Amino acid sequence: MAAALALVAVILAGAVLPLWSALPQYKKKITDRCFHHSECYSGCCLMDLESRGAFCAPRARITMICLPQTKGATNIICPCQVGLTCISKDLMCARRCHMI
């Protein structure tokens, strides 16, 4: 009886464990500490110069200063929200999020 239960447990584990990796991983919310932008639900891990760490931050909204893309593990400025494009309308001004 115990051997049969052990066999069923092994079969179920073999069927369930491969599916486990397909499940979405837990993403951190805004203000949670992070090491890489992929950890954050927003996709932006912003450097915190005061604490020498980083935290998850929201993406830039319309007319906010932005970066065109995420490079490396952490950012000093976040990229734009979905639907916005990070462009500079004036060569003397920083890039900002705009709808195109």
pLDDT tens sequence across 57-97 = 999 999 999 987 766 788 889 999 999 999 988 888 889 99
How many domains does one find in the chain? 1
What span, in angstroms and rounded, lies between the C-alpha atoms of 13 and 35?
A: 32
Query: Averaged over 11-28, what is the pLDDT?
Result: 56
* pLDDT value of position 2: 54
Tens digit of each residue's pLDDT (9 = 90 or more) over 40-56? 999 999 998 888 899 99
Residue 10 DSSP code: H
Does residue 20 form part of some domain? no
Residue range of the domain that includes 36 = 25-98
> Does residue 1 fall inside a structural domain?
no
CATH number of 84's domain: 2.10.80.10
Confidence (pLDDT) at 1: 58
H/E element holding 11?
helix 2-20
The average pLDDT across 7-31 equals 60
SS (H, E, C) 22-71: CCCCCCECCCCECCCHHHECCCCEEEECCCCEEEECCCECCCCECCCCCC
Structural domain includes residue 8: no
> At 97, is the secondary structure helix, strand, or coil?
strand
